[in-house]
A and B are shown apart, each in its own frame.
Chain A
Amino acid sequence: GAGVSQSPSNKVTEKGKDVELRCDPISGHTALYWYRQRLGQGLEFLIYFQGNSAPDKSGLPSDRFSAERTGESVSTLTIQRTQQEDSAVYLCASSRGGTWETQYFGPGTRLLVL
Chain B
Amino acid sequence: AQKVTQAQTEISVVEKEDVTLDCVYETRDTTYYLFWYKQPPSGELVFLIRRNSFDEQNEISGRYSWNFQKSTSSFNFTITASQVVDSAVYFCALGPFGNEKLTFGTGTRLTIIP
Contact = CB atoms under 8 A, between A and B. Distances in A.
Given A42-B107, A43-B102, A103 B47 contact: yes
Q: Is the contact region of chain A dominated by helix, strand, or loop, or is it mixed?
A: strand
Given A42-B91, A99-B97, A107 B103 contact: no
Contact of B37 (A33, A44, A48, A105): A105
Contact of B43 (A33, A48, A89): A89
B101 A48 contact: yes
Interface residues of B, number: 26
Contact of A45 (B42, B52, B97, B101): B101
A104 B46 CA distance: 7
A104 B102 contact: no
Task: Determine the interface band of chain A, counting residues with CB < 8 A from chain B.
Answer: 20 to 34
Contacts, number: 60
B35 interface: yes
A108 B104 contact: no
A14 B93 CA distance: 33
B50 A100 contact: yes
Contacts of A103: 47, 102
A107 B101 CA distance: 19
B101 to A, nearest CB: 5
B28 to A, nearest CB: 17
A99 B33 CA distance: 10
Contact of B45 (A50, A58, A91, A99): A91
Interface of A: 31, 33, 35, 41-45, 48, 50, 55-56, 58-59, 89, 91, 93, 95, 99-100, 102-108, 110
**5 A-B pairs with the lowest CB-CB distances in the bound complex, closest first:** A105-B45, A42-B104, A43-B104, A42-B106, A100-B33
